[in-house]
Structure 1
Amino acid sequence: MKKLLPEAAIKSLEEYSAGLMNRNELYAQFRKQVGNVVFEGTRSCWENMKSRCKNAYAYLCPELESLPDFIRHMGFRPCSDASIHRKDNFQGYTHENIVWADKKTQSRERTNTVVLSLNDVSRPLVAWAEDRGVNPSAMRRRKTLGWSDEEIITGERNITSDPSSTTFWAYTPWPRGFELNWERQYAESRHAGEHRLRFYERFIIERLHRLQDELENLLIYDEDFTGMPSTPPTPAESMALKDNQMKIAEWESCLRDARLKLGRCSGEDKPRFYDVPDWVEEKFDRLIRQANEAEKRKRENYRR
């Protein structure tokens, strides 16, 4: 950020250095020149810097020890969300290594900031997300799933036939954490030749229709169709209504997810992002068999 140091402040600093005014008089001049809010904000940042140096044993150069010297080198805080930022976090606080920076800049340059590279260009994840119009949390999720930098940025999964190259659930559109349940449902309820992504959307729509029918049955409306229930619901009915509405909201969220994934495949008869190779299909079959056997054993143990 650009250094904020008015000519009047420079003159006041020169007079202070020459012994023509004391520190309190200098601060009074600063308050008149830049305003009390700016001056106190600058002093607060300076005090925080000194505190960090003391607590973290970071180096603070002598030229920044006093507030007048700090202002001479750094100027006043340029905006309300600006604070002292080190260009190199492994170096101390010197006037060559520190600048004024807003919160956005500082968050991008932390040591734990996730940096992604594409075509020899490296930028923070949040910067790529802004350019692509994507929620940063979506990109972070892709990274936790083991996607490459290019895949995270473009949003397209480049899946190969190598079993060791990725987790097998990445081949499916199922919501994270519920993959096996969805895969079992797909194996049991799919239409002939139906793709997983098409099934995902169809199953959700059918479930929503059933829930909406249940909601209508829970409400008894007046004969004149005023749109208001004829009698107040009982506590049990209220709980059933609330539960139904929560389920509808959850399934509507799933439907948005399905249609978002379908939108990325528009213009194609078969979505290309979730074409499952044979070795993954075999893996799914084994998982479903194991889950069914475990459920069968559980039922048998319960009967005993």
Structure 2
Amino acid sequence: MLEHGEIHLSHVEDSKSLTATALREKYPSTYTSWRNMKQRRKAGAIIDPRLEAFSDFLALVGPRPSRDHTLDRIDPRNPTYAPKLVRWLDAKGQANNRQTTIILEVDGQAKPLAVWAEVTGQRPDTLRSRHAKGWSDHEVLSGRKSAQVGNPWTAHPWPPDPRKSYLAEQAYQRLGDRGELRIDYYIRAIKQQIEQIRWRREGLYDPCSGDSPPREWLELGRELERYFAKMDDLWEQRALVYEAIKVWPKPESWAGPSRFRRKDEY
């Protein structure tokens, strides 16, 4: 039975009678949307207990009408996913609902960025970050820039802002490990930032309490999402750097941060 293109009058009965595996196989894209919804907890989303189980989600929200539909919170300011607070919205509805919607067109298919994110299994913030850097629509979705990395031994992933770039380079020279590339140091530093934010959030709010989350907890969730998107970009940059290493000879004197060089190399 097809999941899309027809009205499922039996989805409520299915939710009660079919096993979890059978439901997942019969409603695969609905299951994907449900799973993506639960992953949004990382960004501060609150999941109503009634939607925790996929069978309950299917019965209360209904099957995904088509692959152009995504799960949408009716009020974007409310971080809660709950019955009557969410809906299935198609690409046109999303475009009408958000004036700032980014439309990406690849292979003749134009869809809002949020739809492409769900179709490709990527974070929306990751795609927005690539788009903001001027990447083509195809590059945004593929995650790979057409241009190749130059010298991988001197290439850096620092922010474009001159002051931030300078501070990042100084931190690398002071804190980087022997033989550590700048991209690897930066990934390690961002991971530490993510762990610190997670630790701070844990003491602010218990999602199971039923209370409204404090503003700081939500803001930290958004900050986490930005860091996750940054990590996605950094891993992509790292792949390019290591591809370049295969064809770019390593300088004999290279040892990573400057403090590991011999004095006669300065």
Say whether the fold is shared (TM-score over 0.5): no
* Category of TM-score, reference length = shorter chain: 0.3 to 0.5
Larger Rg: 1
Q: TM-score, normalised by structure 1?
A: 0.31
